[in-house]
Amino acid sequence: MKFTPDRPLVMAFAIISSIVHIIAPTRVRRAMYRLLLALWASVAILAAAMPVKAAAASTQARLVIEAAMDREVAAPLLAAFTRRYPDVELDYRDRSSMAVNARAQQPDPRVDVILSSAMPWQVALVNQGLAQRLDSDEARQWPQWAKWRDEVFAFTFEPIVMAYRLDLAARMLPPVSHADVLNLLTQHAETLAGRVVAYSPSKSALGYALYLQDSRYSGRFWKLVAALGRVDATLETSTQRMLAGLSDGRYWLGYNLLGSYALQWAQTHPDIIVQMPSDYALISMRTAFIHRHAPHPEQARAFINFLIGREGQHVVAGETPLYSIRDDIVGPFTAQSLRDQVGQRLYPQPLDASSLSMLDTARRNDFLARWFDAYSGGTRRPDGRLRSGRQSLRSHRPPARRPRHPWL
Amino acid sequence: MIIHGKLRNRLLAWLLSMMLIVGGLLMMDAWVTSQRSAQRAFDSQLEDALLTMTEAIQWQDDQPRIMMPPAALKILSTRHQERVFYRLIDDEGRVLANNLDIALSAKLQREAAEGDVWHNIHYQGVEWRLHARSVRSAGWERQFRVQVWVGHTIEGREQLARELLTRAMGRILVMGLFAAMMIFITLRLALTPLKRLRHQLRRRQPQDASPLSGTMPEEMRELTDTLEQLFHRQGESRDALLRFTADASHQLRTPLAGVQNAAEFALGSDSPAQWHQALSDIHASAARTSRLAGQLLNLTRLRHLALPTEQDALDLADLLRSVVLEWVDHDLARQHDLGLAELPAQPICVIGEPWALREMIGNLIENALRYTPAGSEITLGLSLEAEGGGVVLSIEDNGPGVDPQMLERLCQPFERAGRQDTDGSGLGLAIVETIALRHQAELQVSNRDAGGLCVHIRFPGRQS
């Protein structure tokens, strides 16, 4: 960021003196050289004084980040950024993905960076023109599948996992794949009744996206939803709440948890086992973009470049369970290490315009209706109308057919 | 500059400016083509996306619904990752699906209800390309028309157009450079003979009249031939000039030698009668010399006189009559029978200068008087030709005539046909010929069958 005066000045000096050399007679030449030298010296002195001013200006710089990322998980990353840019004052606001999304759409949000795990929503924000393009070497080198329009960048590669209490392992064979979960739910329905937790498709953005993806990759997905309904699974809004419930002993089994949070949690809660699905694993990616009306665009660019640069990714791979996307980073948490663990069947959510279809109201309503239909044990007649299912004990009610907002 | 500079520079300037014009036209064409190709490529993606969406319209509860297919949005976004817009409106104005609050004017919506719409708008400070079409969707009980709008930003179009344009420009530039190089080389090669000719001409000595050496291209052959003819003519005229000067000197020397002789003879004598004799000899000689000089002057003046720009028609018969009348009383004509043949009744008009024609007729008469013995008959005549309207002026005598071999050379200066017995300078016929040439008239000298010489001067008809 520093102003380096030397190269352009030296070039200007060289050009001017060669012109003088060519056109002027010797006597004039000498006088002009003296004048030029004096000029050069004064400019150099001025220039030497300038970086001090620039540095002084940047000490006041702030960086406002609206993030749907747990402060605890993000802490090493933020600390590393502060070490690298000690002059930037970080204002990190940890919120839910829906709150972040709403904040980004305010007319004058005074936010620099929007960071969220709700990928379709992030893409929608970019599509609305709320992002700035990032033009940097890091951005250009970033893999094509992990960025869109050079505006929004995915910088983590977080597997979706299952988690269970040791209580469960004591009574039955713990699940290692999606099929195992379905088997457990059917075979031990009575034992597990009320002790299973999963995302709410209607209240959690990530949950909806994950179910939609599950339905695409698993042929027995709807049976699994029905089984969740039969054990009266609790529908939560965040991984943190699911983990808290597991630790409390309220739940024995959690389905589709964010791996990053679960792994972090398990480090301090030995009674909870985190299981990476062995058949296939969905991948959720944390995305970040610079807000169009960012008050501190320079710092925001520095932050994104840091996130997707070698340094940031090194922290992601080594100190957080967020998993690095870059192949050239070595550490316990990299996409490569995940591939070694699970195999090639890692399914990241697409980061492109096609994910906008998930947000389309009609499509979303249709999916939710079908989900709750399966969950409540009803079946669809050929004409698409619902047939009333069995009475359920669960406390959750299917949402209205038309939510008042697409991302309720 | 271009008109007056070196031939090579002129050619170069013309060829290069032509090339620049052609290059400019090509570049304009490349620009238009690249814009059009990019537009076409991306418009077809808009169409595909619209079609894919159209096929995803379903009926539920007797209402049209759309299950937005991800593929449609992927197509709409293109591989340039454009921002996308879609909106589906049924004919009751209900929005079935929508993702951005782009304002669509009532006029646009009307147009879309009637047929395909292609439209560019500005939204959030960037340009978008929109496409809309109305599709019929039939339910069980009702039929709906659904207006499908799709659109995307135009960054990809611009980039593609730029790429196409850059590629085309590169090709044009390379071709242009190549052509320019070829033009330089070709010009150098083509202009080599000219350069060679220039060198040859520069090295040439003034008196050299030999033909040019070396082969020349077809186009330059004419030029070199002309040049060679010019050299040849120049050589000839120089020779003639030399000859004329030598002859003139010789002619002037003879009377001067006579004057010298007479003077010496007088100086060596004491008798006043002999002095008188010598003085009268000297006087005669001086008169002859003076006449010779006058004739020489006449000839030179006539030969170098510029052709008159305008000549008046005059009556030749009248002129001839008056000149002959003048000469009848002349000293020289005392012992000759100078006559005029019967002239045609009507005036005979020729175009010419009166003074020159007078001079010509006078010379003819004087010539005849000087070269015929006393008592000879000299007759001048004038006749009209039956065909072509030509006029022939003739003078005939019954003198001794001329050796036929001499006839050809009779008109050359100082040619007296071997006669040394007269005071004639030998310039008379030369002057006559010069004046005849000035009037485009033909001079013909021949011996008469009955003896004596006959000179015909034929003036062309007035119409030619």
Q: Which residues, other chains included, contact B76 with Cβ-Cβ below 8 Å and sequence gap of 6+?
A: A353, B45, B46, B49, B82, B84, B86, B150, B152
Closest among B116, B91, B85 to B103, alpha carbons compared = B85
Task: Spell out which residues of chain B touch residue A358, defining contact as CB-CB under 8 Å.
Answer: 70
User: What distance, in Å, lies between the first and last C-alpha atoms of chain B?
Assistant: 44
Report CA-CA distances (Å) from A82 to A62, A134, A154, A271, A291: 11, 21, 21, 34, 21
Q: Among A144, A352, A354, which would you mutate to test the B interface (most chain B Cβ atoms within 10 Å of its Cβ)?
A: A354
**Contact status, residue B154 vs residue B35, Cβ threshold 8 Å:** no
Cα nearest neighbour of B65 on chain A: A362
Interface contact A352, partner B, CB < 8 A: yes
Shortest distance, CA B96 to any CA of chain A (angstroms)? 8
**Looking at the complex, does the CB of residue A148 fall below 8 Å from at least one CB of chain B?**
yes
Length of chain B (residues):
464
- Smallest CA–CA distance, residue A30 to chain B, in Å, is 41
Output the pLDDT for position B292.
83
> Is residue B194 in a domain?
no
Residue B319 sits in the same domain as residue B425: yes
Query: What stretch of H or E contains B229?
Result: helix B218-267
CA distances from A377 to A121, A371, A383 (A): 30, 10, 18
Cβ-defined contact of B71 to A354 (cutoff 8 Å): yes
A154 touches chain B (CB under 8 A): no
Nearest-Cα distance to chain B for A292, in Å, is 11
Q: How far apart (Å, rounded) are the C-alpha atoms in residues B96 and B89?
A: 6
Both tokens of B57, joined, read 């319209």
Q: Mean pLDDT throughout A300-305?
A: 95
Residue B328 corresponds to which tokens in the numbers above? 């009848």
CATH topology of domain A158-280+360-375: D-Maltodextrin-Binding Protein; domain 2 (3.40.190)
| B170 assigned to some structural domain | no
- What pLDDT was estimated at residue A197? 95
Phi first, then psi: what are they for B231, rounded to 5°?
-60, -45
Q: Is the same domain home to B104 and B77?
A: yes
Mark whether B448 and B324 lie in a shared domain.
yes
Query: B343 and B317 in contact (C-beta within 8 Å)?
Result: yes
> Which tokens sit at B330?
């002349």
Interval A245-258: pLDDT, tens? 999 999 999 999 99
* Residue B286 is assigned to a structural domain of this protein: yes
**Is residue A12 exposed (0-12), middle (13-18) or buried (19+ Cβ within 10 Å)?**
middle
Question: Concatenated DSSP letters for B103-172?
Answer: ---HHHHHHHHHS-EEEEEEETTEEEEEEEEEEEEE-SS-EEEEEEEEEEESHHHHHHHHHHHHHHHHHH
Is the Cβ pair B69, A366 closer than 8 Å? Answer: no
> How many A×B Cβ pairs under 8 Å?
62
Residues of B in contact with A357 (CB under 8 A): 68-70, 72-73
Cα separation, A190 vs A356, whole angstroms: 39
Which pLDDT band, with edges at 50, 70 and 90, does A387 fall under? very low
Query: Which residue in chain A has the smallest CA separation from B49?
Result: A354
pLDDT in tens, chain B (464 residues): 445 567 788 888 888 899 999 999 999 999 999 999 999 999 999 999 999 999 888 877 777 888 889 999 999 999 899 999 999 998 888 888 999 999 989 899 889 888 899 999 999 889 999 999 998 877 666 777 889 999 999 999 999 999 999 999 999 999 999 998 998 898 888 888 888 888 888 888 877 767 777 777 777 888 888 888 888 888 888 888 888 888 888 878 878 888 888 888 888 888 888 888 888 888 888 888 888 888 888 888 877 777 766 677 888 888 888 888 888 888 888 888 888 888 887 888 888 888 888 888 988 888 888 888 888 888 998 888 877 778 888 998 888 888 888 888 888 877 777 777 777 777 888 888 888 888 888 888 888 888 888 999 998 876 43
| Residue given tokens 């296939």 in the structure block | A280
Chain centroid to Cα A247, Å, comes to 25
Phi/psi of residue A268, nearest 5 degrees: -105, -5
Residues B258 and B362 in one domain: no
Domain-embedded: residue B174: no
d(CA B238, CA A288): 102
CB B83 to CB A149 under 8 A?
Answer: yes
Residue A74, judged by CB atoms within 10 A of its CB (0-12, 13-18, 19+), counts as: buried
Question: Residue B97 CB: number of other CB atoms within 10 A?
Answer: 23
Domains A62-157+285-347 and A158-280+360-375 share a fold: yes
B139 in a structural domain:
yes
Strand partners, A159: A283
- State pLDDT tens for residues B85-133: 999 998 888 888 999 999 989 899 889 888 899 999 999 889 999 999 9
Residues A117, A68 contacting (CB under 8 angstroms): yes
Q: How far is B109 from chain A (nearest CA, A)?
A: 22
Instruction: Return the amino acid letter for B277.
Output: Q
SS3 A123: helix
Return the bridge partners of A66, or none: A93, A114
Name the minimum distance, in Å, from the CA of B95 to any CA of chain A.
11
Most confident range, picked from A155-164, A211-220, A361-370: A155-164
Mean pLDDT of chain A: 83
Following CA atoms A175, A179, A184, A189 in sequence, which dihedral angle do they give, to the nearest 10 degrees? 140
**Nearest CA-CA partner of A164 in A147, A148, A180:** A180
Q: What is the CATH number of the domain that holds B104?
A: 3.30.450
B81 at interface of A, judged by CB pairs closer than 8 A: yes
- List the single residue in A with minimal CA-CA distance to B80: A149
Nearest CA of chain B to the CA of A162: how many Å? 28
Cβ pair A257, A162 in contact under 8 A: yes
What are the pLDDT digits (tens) for A239-296?
999 999 999 999 999 999 999 999 989 999 999 999 999 889 999 999 999 999 999 9
The residue with tokens 């708008």 is B121
Residue A394 pLDDT level (bands cut at 50, 70, 90): very low
Q: Is B141 an 8 Å CB contact of chain A?
A: no
Please give the backbone phi and psi of residue A249, each rounded to the nearest 5 degrees, phi first.
Answer: 95, 5
Nearest 5°: phi and psi at A50?
-70, -45
Q: Which residue of B has its CA nearest to A406?
A: B99
Indicate if the alpha-carbon torsion angle B385, B391, B392, B393 is positive or negative.
Answer: positive
How do A89-94 and A62-67 pair as beta strands? parallel
Q: Considering Cα of B366, then B368, then B373, then B375, what sign does the dihedral take?
A: negative
What integer pLDDT is reported at residue B430 of this predicted model? 85
Question: Which residues in chain A touch residue B69, judged by CB atoms under 8 angstroms apart?
Answer: 357
Query: How far is Cα B86 from Cα B73, in angstroms, rounded to an integer?
Result: 9
C-beta separation of A194 from A232 below 8 A: yes
Q: Which run of H or of E encompasses A238?
A: none
pLDDT of residue A393: 37
Which chain B residues contact residue A354 at CB under 8 A? 70-71, 73-74, 77
How do the domains of chain A map onto residue ranges? 6-58, 62-157+285-347, 158-280+360-375
Same domain, B276 and B421: no
| CB A221, CB A185: distance < 8 Å | no
Region A38-61: mean pLDDT is 59
Residues B256 and B271 in one domain: yes
ipTM: 0.74
How far B224 CA lies from chain A's nearest CA (Å)? 49
Report the alpha-carbon angle B442-B444-B450, nearest 5. 150
Q: Least CA distance to A292: which residue of chain B?
A: B124
- Phi and psi of B183, rounded to 5°? -60, -45
- What's the confidence (pLDDT) of residue A382? 38
Count Cβ atoms below 10 Å from residue A229 Cβ, excluding itself: 23
Contact flag B67-A127 (C-beta cutoff 8 Å):
no
| Separation of alpha carbons A32 and A30, rounded Å | 5
Parallel, antiparallel or unpaired: strands B117-123 and B95-98: unpaired
Residues B317 and B424 in one domain: yes
Nearest to B74 among A124, A129, A353 (CB): A353
Residue B420 lies in a domain: yes
Residue B212 or A200, more confident: A200
Q: What is the pLDDT of residue A386?
A: 42
Q: Phi, psi at residue A232, to the nearest 5°?
A: 60, 50
Same domain, B134 and B240: no
Give the Cβ contact number of residue A314 at 10 Å. Answer: 16
Counting residues of chain A whose pLDDT is more than 90, the rounded percentage is 55
Contacts of A355 in chain B (CB under 8 A): 70
Phi, psi of B37 (to 5 degrees): -65, -45
The answer on B444 and B298 residing in a single domain is: no
Chain CA centroid to CA B5, Å: 17
Selection from B297, B293, B463, B441 nearest residue B357 by Cα: B441
Other beta carbons within 10 angstroms of residue A179's beta carbon come to 15
Phi, psi angles (nearest 5°) of residue A152: -115, 135
Cβ pair B81:A362 closer than 8 A: no
Residues of B in contact with A124 (CB under 8 A): 99
> Which residues in chain A have their CB less than 8 angstroms from residue B127's CB?
none
Q: How many domains does chain B have?
A: 3
Whether the predicted model's global pTM rises above the 0.80 cut: no
Contact assignment for B68 to A362 by CB distance below 8 Å: yes
Closest chain A residue by Cα to residue B96: A362
Shortest CA gap B107–chain A (Å): 24
Query: DSSP secondary-structure letter at A352?
Result: S
Closest CB to B68 among A148, A363, A384: A363
Decide: A112 and A303 in contact? Cβ < 8 Å.
yes
Tell whether A105 lies on the interface with B, counting CB pairs under 8 A.
Answer: no
What pLDDT was estimated at residue B5? 64
Nearest Cα neighbor of B28 from B183, B180, B165, B131 is: B165
A361: its two tokens: 């109201």
The burial of B336, by beta-carbon neighbours within 10 Å (0-12 exposed, 13-18 middle, 19 or more buried), is given as buried
Calculate how close chain B gets to A206, using CA atoms only, in Å. 18
Q: Which of B66, B70, B81 sits opposite A148 (nearest CB)?
A: B81
- Note whether B72 contacts A: Cβ–Cβ < 8 A: yes
What stretch of H or E contains A131?
none
Last residue of a domain, one of B249, B284, B302: B302
Q: Kindly report the CA angle at B171 between B165 and B173, in degrees rounded to 5?
A: 100
Residue that is last in its domain, among B275, B302, B329: B302
Provide the CATH number for the domain formed by A62-157+285-347 in this structure: 3.40.190.10
End-to-end CA distance of chain A: 42
A-chain residues near B124 (CB < 8 A) = 129
Question: By residue range, what is the domain housing residue B224?
Answer: 218-302
Instruction: Note whether B317 and B431 are same-domain residues.
Output: yes
Using a CB-CB cut-off of 8 Å, the residues of chain B touching A350 are 70
Residue among B60, B65, B84 whose CB faces A356 most closely: B84
The helix (run of H) or strand (run of E) holding residue A74 is: helix A71-84
Q: Nearest residue on chain A to B124, judged by CA atoms? A: A129
| Tokens 């039955």, residue located | A172
CB contacts, 8 Å: B81 with chain A: 148-149, 352-353
Give yes or no: residues B402 and B423 share one domain. Answer: yes
Q: How far are the Cα atoms of A152, B66, B146 from residue A316, in angstroms, in the given order?
A: 18, 41, 49
Q: Which of B60, B70, B82 sits opposite A357 (nearest CB)?
A: B70
Instruction: Name the strand (E) or helix (H) holding B96.
Output: strand B95-98
Q: Tokens 């305010």 identify what position?
A: A106
Within 8 A of B77 by CB-CB distance, chain A residues are: 352-354
- Do B22 and B140 lie in one domain? The reply is yes
Q: Which has more confidence, B49 or A335?
A: B49
3-state secondary structure of A380: strand
Domain boundary among B140, B162, B184: B162
Residue written as token pair 């940890």 = A94
Q: Which of A128, A129, A356 sits opposite B73 (nearest CB)?
A: A356
Evaluate whether B66 touches B88 at the Cβ level (below 8 Å): yes
Q: Does A366 touch chain B (CB under 8 A)?
A: yes
DSSP B223: H
